[in-house]
Structure 1
């Protein structure tokens, strides 16, 4: 399974050359660190899906000595590995440029990436290939733009929930959020595994 994760990096050698310039663009544009970490985490896993969608790699993967469960596990574990690497590289670039960020920025960016991945990864196994990657990227851009105003609006109109959340201690809030995100991610992993095992190529 480690070889499947490594395969994604090998296939994306050329795309990885634009990773740092891509991140530098966000930093130069003075984007919020949370958005920068989110986009950096997004880069490798979704490029992999885009490549596989065009090349119909699933036929090749299923001819290799890996179970379908292992193929899906490599995608979900790989996304976490790439996220950690991307966060590390982005942090190094931000520090070298003297840009301030906090552990909260990293946590929010990583958490949002895992949530977005949890909701979109199964789509690559449910929908027919062709335009899934484009649709996912468009939705990502739209949500990046309208997400914060929507959250602010909901917080204003659902004050009971907002007050409850605000009254929680910081450790409980962080722990609860992390557990919830991981549960959603694991549920998505399970759903993708079930769909992929039943899929005919």
Structure 2
């Protein structure tokens, strides 16, 4: 199964040449570190989906000695592996540019949530369109997401006060549990969709 994870990197070796310049662009433009980490994390997994859409790779994958569960597992496990590697590269880029960031800026939860909601879409909708839908959705979320969070924090004062009354470890633990729940649920949903799909 890990050969499938490695396959994504091998197939994208040309795109990976622009990975560091791509990250450096966000660093030079002084984007928020959380956005830089998030963009770095989605680069490889979503490029893999885009490549598979163009090449109709699922027909080939299903002819290999892997079960459909293993194919989907390689996507979800691979996304976590690439996220960790991307965080390392982005951290070095921010360090070299003397840009300060905190542990909360690493945005692991944001990446896993975004992946949880978008990965199933690649197996629900027809190839050729979903990558662009996901790209536009990501840009919209990045643009309006912070404003929505601020608006909700100002208007849902009871919830804001409750969250503020919790300790930092409790907040992080609760957030981690919620994020992992959505990621695992997404994994199971995508597996079910993929097992029923015909190629």
TM-score norm. by structure 2 comes to 0.99
Per the TM alignment, residue 197 of structure 1 is displaced from its structure 2 partner at its CA by: 0.4
Looking at structure 2, the residues matched to 28 and 96 of structure 1 have their Cα atoms a distance apart, in angstroms, of: 11
**Residue of structure 2 in register with 1:185 after alignment:** 183
- Asked if 1:53 is matched to 2:39, the reply is no
Report Cα offsets for 1:55-110 as digits up to 9, x if no partner: 1000000000000000000000000000000000110111122111111111xx21
Looking at structure 2, the residues matched to 101 and 165 of structure 1 have their Cα atoms a distance apart, in angstroms, of: 23
TM-score norm. by structure 1 comes to 0.98
- Deviation beyond 4 Å, 4+ runs, structure 1: none
Looking at structure 1, the residues matched to 164 and 14 of structure 2 have their Cα atoms a distance apart, in angstroms, of: 45
Where does structure 2 lack aligned partners over 5 or more consecutive residues?
none
Report Cα offsets for 1:117-158 as digits up to 9, x if no partner: 000000011111111001100010011000000111111111
**Residue of structure 1 in register with 2:112 after alignment:** 114
* Alignment coverage as a number of residue pairs: 199
SS in 2 for 1:129: coil
Alignment of structure 1 residues 162-177 onto 2, 5 Å: 162-177=160-175
Per the TM alignment, residue 17 of structure 1 is displaced from its structure 2 partner at its CA by: 0.3
Looking at structure 2, the residues matched to 197 and 17 of structure 1 have their Cα atoms a distance apart, in angstroms, of: 34
**Residue of structure 1 in register with 2:70 after alignment:** 70
Per the TM alignment, residue 48 of structure 1 is displaced from its structure 2 partner at its CA by: 0.3
Alignment of structure 1 residues 9-20 onto 2, 5 Å: 9-20=9-20
**Residue of structure 2 in register with 1:142 after alignment:** 140
